[in-house]
Every structure is written in C-alpha cells, then in structure tokens.
Amino acid sequence: MKRAVVLLSGGLDSTTCLAIATRRDGYEAHCLSFAYGQRHADEVEQARQVAGRLGAASHRVVRMNLEAIGGSALTDHSIAVPKGRDEASIGAGVPITYVPARNTVFLSVALGLAEVLEAEAIYLGVNALDYSGYPDCRPAFVEAFSQLAKVATAAGLEGHAPRIEAPLLQLGKAEIIRLGVSLGVDYGITHSCYDPAPGGLACGACDACLLRAKGFADAGVADPTRYVR
Amino acid sequence: MKRAVVLLSGGLDSTTCLAIATRRDGYEAHCLSFAYGQRHADEVEQARQVAGRLGAASHRVVRMNLEAIGGSALTDHSIAVPKGRDEASIGAGVPITYVPARNTVFLSVALGLAEVLEAEAIYLGVNALDYSGYPDCRPAFVEAFSQLAKVATAAGLEGHAPRIEAPLLQLGKAEIIRLGVSLGVDYGITHSCYDPAPGGLACGACDACLLRAKGFADAGVADPTRYVR
C-alpha cells in the first residue's frame, strides 16, 4: 500500500488532512506530531487519539525544545496570546503566535521520516485563506519546500522525492469543515485553541478559536467545541 | 554589530566555519547545536567549549529525538558504523551514517533563530569535495534552502531573509585545515569521530576519522586528534 507522512496536530485542519490522505487518496498514513514546548501541549495527546480514530498506520511524536529559540507567544510563556481580535486584525500582518520557521522545521522532520519509510507524499494542513497571517502557510512556501525536497534527500537524488500535499491550501474554513464532514470526520475529537483552560476547554477568544467558530457557523455545521465559557 | 547564526557540532568543519564568521567576516556569532539522539552525543559538550574558545556571543542547544525517525547508524544504535573503508568507497553512494534530512532540519531551526535574532546570515560547514556522500552537503541543496528562506519567514516576506553561507562548500579537507590554522583555530579542541570511545577518544577508522586524518596529512599540519589506538 502506498505510504504518506501526515503532519498531525490534532486540530481541525490537520485532522481533515489525515482523512483526505486515508479516506479520499487511499494512503497508508504515518502521522507525525511535535512536542515543541508549545503552550497547548495537550494537543499531542489529542493528536494520538485522532490518529487512532482515523486509522493511521503509525503515530510518532518528536520532542524538541523550540523554547530555546523563543520569539512566539506559543513557546515563550511570558508573551500573552492575543484575545478577541476582529477578523481584519487577524488577517493583517504576522501575529505574535507565529512560531519562527515552525512549518519549515516540521516539514523537514517529515522529509526525514518519508525517506525512512519510502513514503511518496507528505500531507500538511496549511491554508492560505482563513488563516492567521503566517508566512509559512502560503503557496510560495509549499512550492519552495517541494523544490528543496528534490535535492535534500537520497530519495530526491534518485528522482522520487516525496510530493508535498497541501490539499487545504486554497480552501476556506467552512469548505474544510464541509469536506471533513463528507469524509466522516468527527470534529468533536479535534481542538484548535492556542491557550486552552485545564481540562482542554477552548478559550473561545484566541485567533484559532475565532477562525474555527466562524468556520462552523459559515458551514452550517453545529460547533462541537467545548468552550470554557 | 551584525549577527550570524552558526551551526556548530564542534567538529573540524563547523569550528572552521565559526572562525570564518567571527574572525574573517566580522559577525557576532550565535551558535546552535543539536542533541538529536546521536551516537556521538559528547559533541554537544565539545561544541560548547569550542563556542567559548572562539568567542561566540551565545550558544543554544536544541534537543530532539530523531531516533523516533531512525534510518541511520548515527541515531539507530542497532546499526553499526562502517569502519576502515577506502577513499573510493567513502565517496560512492549515500552511506548508512547519513541521517535523513538532518541538515534540512538543522537549517530550519537556524532559520527560526535567525528570525528571532534578526541575523543576516546562517553559516554551515558543509563541503562537497572531501565529504561523505550526503545529499544535503551539495551546492544544489544550499541553493534550494536559500530560496526557501526567502518565503518561509516573516523576515523573508520583508525582503531580508538570512543568507545561507557555506564557505567550505568548494574546499577540500586540507584547504579547510589550512584556512582554519590561518585564522588561529586550535584543532585540538575539535572532534570528528562518529563512534568515539569513552573519554572522547576518536576511533580512527570511521569515515569521519579517515577523512579528517587524510586532511591533516595532506595539509602538512600535525594531527592533534587523540585516537583510541
């Protein structure tokens, strides 16, 4: 069976991406999650549950202390996560929740795993429409990494570098949710909050919560998220 | 003072690279080392000593469990490090000591640190002549990563992505050693062995030891390495 590496945070986007890889595109999925010193470290355990529920063939967790780099509200706990921003603010500029080069780092490790597993694709759930203004969620980034993959590994030298698949790139949040629902995804097991309360309850006010809630409303799908308020 | 991030293993190449960044190119150097489950984990402590001796402004160690990925004799301790190979064998094909996508991962984290420090360059000590057949030590790799850096970060979006500097790329091992000696590098504090004995003594037989020893011989410089035999 053909193999793919799927970057999985257990959030709405990456969970949809996993369903696309397995249920639509027919891949044996090998999931990869990261414990990188993030504020919302619970996501790693939730990713494990998502991988199990969606029938992933394997799930690896790579730990790295990106707090040694800092520069983000997600890894530097002295920087507050912005709350209650309006849509125009969320779309304008690079926010403080941006983790410098995070998707580059995650894709690089995925590239190594793809080499070991001889996987033919790497899936990641970035999208460039209803997104948070992160530079590494844009088509130009995905394209540049695809080119890098062709020269960075032994598989690339042999002409079979993994394809970088970003199937959500041009979809809005509501479209992503509708696609996931059509593939049988239960979004009740996913989470998106950057700053969850104890027990994993979503704050309802960070950029990730606001984009997610609007996506469910726009899609006409009941929001299964458990909020703190 | 202008800043650079320097990838530093404490080996011969990366130590020379640090000396080039500081003593030749005039950068304030911020060093970055990795504890990635490598067999020769002592290198991290040695890198710290090298950073101190060469006057680095800072030294960070990022830990990551690349043994979760495996696929290399350096991270999978059940795979033996090849010993006593001749020069033709060392240059032919990708060896089992290749860690899949390692330089891509290291450069990605360096890219994040460069963003946080507003560094204008990232130095890495790859070389494509007297090398071990690793795909991520070639000019095409360095060029592709340079392109990626321009679109992967907020600094890149603003038109000042860090340059990827690989000053050893086209130098032979003997030339690297002569350059380092001219910059005052004491190679006695560096190490290269993939499989050191207790006490940090070099095995003298792995690819890294053989390339290093030949470099000193060809350069006409006394080899300061402490070998096990």
CA–CA distance, A114 with B101 (Å, rounded to integer): 10
Query: Which of the residues A69, A72, A79 would you substitute to probe the B interface, choosing the one with the greatest number of B C-beta atoms within 10 Å?
Result: A69
Query: Which of the residues B148, B150, B158 would you substitute to probe the A interface, choosing the one with the greatest number of A C-beta atoms within 10 Å?
Result: B148
> Tokens standing for B4?
């650079």
Of B112, B144, B153, the CB nearest to A152: B144
Q: pTM, whole model, 2 decimals?
A: 0.90
Using the Cβ of B63 and the Cβ atoms of chain A, whether some distance falls under 8 Å is answered with yes
Minimal Cα distance from A99: which residue of B? B112
CA–CA distance, A73 with A195 (Å, rounded to integer): 10
Contact residues on chain A for B70, CB-CB shorter than 8 A: 116
Q: For the segment A116-155, what is each residue's pLDDT rounded down to a tens digit?
A: 999 999 999 998 876 667 888 889 999 999 999 999 988 8
**Which residues have a Cβ under 8 Å from the Cβ of B103 and sit 6 or more positions away?**
A152, B124, B126, B134, B136, B137, B141
Contact residues on chain B for A109, CB-CB shorter than 8 A: 64, 66, 69, 101, 105
**pLDDT reported for residue A186:** 95
Alpha carbon of B2: minimum distance to chain A alpha carbons (Å): 19
Q: Give A121's DSSP letter.
A: E
Using the Cβ of A183 and the Cβ atoms of chain B, whether some distance falls under 8 Å is answered with no
pLDDT band per the 50, 70, 90 thresholds, residue A91: low
CA–CA distance, B150 with B161 (Å, rounded to integer): 5
Query: Which of the residues B72, B102, B108, B124 would you substitute to probe the A interface, choosing the one with the greatest number of A C-beta atoms within 10 Å?
Result: B108
Of A65, A71, A136, the CB nearest to B152: A136
Contact residues on chain A for B131, CB-CB shorter than 8 A: none
Of A64, A103, A107, the CB nearest to B64: A64
Using the Cβ of A88 and the Cβ atoms of chain B, whether some distance falls under 8 Å is answered with no
Residue B94 Cα distances to A147, A149, B89, B97, B133, angstroms? 20, 16, 10, 8, 5
State the residue for tokens 């603003």.
B158
Query: Strand ranges (DSSP E) for B11-66?
Result: 28-35, 58-63
Using the Cβ of B152 and the Cβ atoms of chain A, whether some distance falls under 8 Å is answered with yes
Alpha carbon of B7: minimum distance to chain A alpha carbons (Å): 14
Q: What angle do CA B7, B215, B184 make, to 5 degrees?
A: 60
Of B62, B136, B148, the CB nearest to A144: B148
Nearest to B71 by CA among A137, A5, A117, A154: A117
Q: For the segment A102-111, what is each residue's pLDDT rounded down to a tens digit?
A: 999 999 999 9
**pLDDT reported for residue A67:** 85
Alpha carbon of A71: minimum distance to chain B alpha carbons (Å): 5
CATH of domain B3-71+101-191: 3.40.50.620
Whole-number average pLDDT of chain A: 90
Q: Are A73 and A96 in contact (CB under 8 A)?
A: yes
State the residue for tokens 């849509």.
A87
Contact residues on chain B for A94, CB-CB shorter than 8 A: 154, 157
For the beta sheet containing B163-165, the strands, ordered from the edge strand earlier in sequence to the opposite edge, are B58-63, B28-35, B3-7, B121-123, B163-165
* CB spacing of A154 vs B112 below 8 angstroms: no
CA–CA distance, B106 with B177 (Å, rounded to integer): 24
Q: Are B8 and B34 in contact (CB under 8 A)?
A: no
Of A63, A144, A157, the CB nearest to B135: A157
Specify the DSSP element, H or E, that contains A177: helix A173-182
Q: How many CB pairs under 8 A join A and B?
A: 153
Low-confidence ranges of chain B (pLDDT < 70): 90-93, 130-133, 229
pLDDT band per the 50, 70, 90 thresholds, residue A83: confident
Q: For the segment A27-75, what is each residue's pLDDT rounded down to a tens digit?
A: 999 999 999 888 777 789 889 999 999 999 999 999 999 888 887 777 7
Nearest to B10 by CA among B46, B56, B37, B52: B46
Nearest to B43 by CA among B30, B53, B52, B34: B34
**pLDDT reported for residue B165:** 98
Q: Are B208 and B192 in contact (CB under 8 A)?
A: yes
Fold for A3-219, please state it.
Answer: Rossmann fold (3.40.50)
**pLDDT reported for residue B195:** 86
Contact residues on chain B for A146, CB-CB shorter than 8 A: none
Q: For the segment A180-190, what is each residue's pLDDT rounded down to a tens digit?
A: 999 999 999 99
**pLDDT reported for residue B105:** 95
Of B69, B100, B108, the CB nearest to A153: B100
* CB spacing of B101 vs A108 below 8 angstroms: yes
**pLDDT reported for residue B92:** 66
**pLDDT reported for residue B81:** 76
